[in-house]
Amino acid sequence: MLRRNAKPPEPPMDTLAATAIRHPLDPLTEAEIAAVQRLVTGHAGFRDTMRFTLLELVEPAKAAVLAFRPGQGITRSARVVLLDTQSGAILEVLLDLTGGRVEAWRQVETEGQPPIILDDFMKLDRIVKADPRWVAAVKRRGITDADLPLVQVDPFSAGNFGFPEEKGQRLVRAVSYWRESPRDNGYAHPIEGVVAVVDLVHERILTLVDDPVAIPIPRTKRNYDPDSLPPPRTDVKPLSIVQPEGPSFTVDGWDVSWQNWRFRVGFTPREGLVLHRLSFVDQGVARPIIHRASIAEMVVPYADPTTNHFWKNAFDAGEYGLGKLVNALQLGCDCLGTIHYFNVPAADDHGAPFVMENAICMHEEDYGTLWKHYEFRNDVREVRRSRRLVISFFATVGNYDYGFYWYLYQDGTIQLEAKLTGIIQTAAVMPGEPYPWGGMIGEGLGGPTHQHFFCARLHMSLDGEGNTVSEHEFVPRPWGKDNPYGNVFDTTSRVLARERDAAREADGRTGRYWKISNPNKKNVVGAAPAYKLAVTASPLLLAQEGSAIRTRAAFATKHLWVTAADPAERFPAGDFPNQHPGGEGIAAWIEANRPIENADIVLWHNFGHTHVCKPEDMPIMPVEYAGFMLKPSGFLSANPAMDLPRDTEASTSASCCTPAPNSCCE
């Protein structure tokens, strides 16, 4: 997870610009992070009690990226958000790395808080266990003195419910779990009805909530360490993915080229993986599609009104940092085949650089049939297999593990798939009583119903600048002269011209979909080249109008938002969602109702999953999927994958094809 590097490298400042930075979007190097740390800690305003809650590259604006040519001079800037853990002060520092100077050092005025950091994790256990009120509360539920050191205390983002004593404090809400040994899965043993609201600055429990009714701790083991697993099944034969000539992609620094795709890999502490300048080469020309793509925010609201749960609303990107919590992916475990890993330089809470090894995984996957036809009249039979490029990372945020997989296909399709796995939040249930707020998952153990929302931020650049979003639906045409047989239905088309028109919900009944087009260009049939946003059946936020979470996570109340691109508008729940009362972010931005037709636009697609817990979710839930696709829809002049070679290894290998006619593996 988060690591400290005791000895940061210290190259002289003047060599920084020259060390391996070839493009303005290259992630910060270790040397640059070390320089940021030196500049910040050397500043007169710096105190030892300050922690780096964020250290990131200031990405240049779109116009600057478009104007950049290889070999040109590159100016580099960084941004740091400091938290003074003693005073609670929040500071933003802007650094000019090319000039080697602090450009701005200012207090941040926000009703929110920087994300929860490793420091908070570390001190929480100590603060909570030192409070006799908390000790008494957990003992009332069966915890003994011997159990206390092993009790797991989780720092959960506190939310904001307008409780007056909480205003202006840096808080987490701590829930606890009994563990018999350090390797025990604590989530099987929740200590119900005890929540410590912890003031992290003054290092004390601000409020201890201790329900009068003490529900016993469920004691059934639900472990998954190797010793606890059942004997492995013996009927799984090896499945080898072999690429004898290596992968079909090439990597040059952060630049990737695969089949007709070109893009740059980026990474931020908050979003994790970012794809920049995603382009498709069509007849020798790289045509841009997306300028920048990322998952900019998440929220996971719980639907249980009781003490341990009503306030659970994790904004995993803004309150924790998906990039900060990235896993080091291991060959053969998370990904199969010939893998390219990207190691990502990062900063710890003290600003010290370290490298997150194998943070991003890239590989190719066989994906079945791409196209096929057998013409019985003339015996022409052609089939081509599909292959996709996978660029992925996994983040572990407390109990949950989220995988984010971008897939690029040979037919021009772009897909994002979120994989939801890990361990669910749990609730102890009074023996013999039902659990009304979710599903029973074991003896005395319930899983509260909850929702997961992901918000993709897609800064478009479809066939260049000037993009328009339109909405389309299928509508039956009334009987009449132009519909004498009653079979006709129409496809409507409506331009979303202004931001307030573009806060939209999906509708499967009418097949509603959205297209992003470039009205300044013409395709092969004289229309504007376009991509279609293909959404999956996805929930919307179910919390009531007027609830705290609805104000804080307004982005989750619609499936689609479109805004005029503004580099300051990066996160749909605002810059500091931790403990923020809400009202910032996307719902506020669209009040300006800026024109978005033939403009530089950002699409925000909110998608997710409503999770009703079930026994199969324990001890670790099988992956649940959520995501979307972008498919060429008049972008290309024909199927771009007709040129795929026939004799791929898969279609000729003996293990795949039997000698019988018409039996080649598809």
Binding site for Ni ion (CB under 5 A): 611
| Torsional class of 289: left (φ above 0), alpha (ψ -120 to 50), beta (otherwise) | alpha
For Ni ion, give the closer residue by CB, 184 or 401: 401
Classify residue 332 as left (phi > 0), alpha (psi -120 to 50) or beta.
Answer: left
Nearer to Ni ion among residue 447 and residue 529 (C-beta): 447
**Closer CB to Ni ion, 88 or 439, in the complex:** 439
3-state secondary structure of 124: helix
Angle between helices 118-129 and 132-139 (to 10 degrees): 70
Q: Does 184 qualify as catalytic in the annotation? A: no
**Cis peptide bond upstream of 182, omega within 30:** no
CA 628 from chain centre, in angstroms, equals 13
In the complex, minimum distance from the CB of residue 619 to Ni ion, in angstroms, rounded to a whole number: 14
Which C-beta is closer to Ni ion: that of 54 or that of 423? 423
Question: Is the backbone of residue 97 left (phi > 0), alpha (psi -120 to 50) or beta?
Answer: alpha
CA 543 to CA 554: how far, in whole Å? Answer: 11
What minimum distance in Å lies between the beta carbon of 451 and Ni ion?
8
Cβ distance 120 to 323 under 8 Å?
Answer: no
Can 316 be counted among the known catalytic residues? yes
Please give the radius of gyration of the chain, using alpha carbons only, rounded to the nearest integer: 27
User: Can you tell me the distance from the alpha carbon of 439 to that of 427, in angstroms, rounded to the nearest whole number?
Assistant: 10
Residue from 120, 304, 316, 349 carrying the catalytic annotation: 316
Identify the residue whose tokens are 């020798």: 284
Of the candidates 313, 329, 460, 448, which has an alpha carbon nearest to the alpha carbon of residue 393? 329
Question: Among the options 187, 302, 320, 400, which is catalytic?
Answer: 400
Q: Which one, of 258, 666, 630, 249, lies nearest residue 412 by Cα?
A: 630
Complete DSSP assignment for 79-132 = EEEEEETTT--EEEEEEETTTTEEEEEEE---SSBPPP-HHHHHHHHHHHHT-H
CB count within 10 Å of CB 103 equals 15
Nearer Cβ to Ni ion (56/617): 617
**Conformational region of residue 500, where left means phi above 0, alpha means psi within -120 to 50, and beta covers everything else:** alpha
Please tell me the distance from the alpha carbon of residue 388 to that of residue 363, in angstroms, as a whole number: 8
With 0-12 / 13-18 / 19 or more C-beta atoms within 10 angstroms meaning exposed / middle / buried, residue 97 is buried
Nearest residue to Ni ion on Cβ basis: 611
Contacts of 284 (CB under 8 A, 6+ apart): none
Q: Quick one: 83 or 303, whose CB is closer to Ni ion?
A: 303
> Which of the residues are catalytic?
316, 400
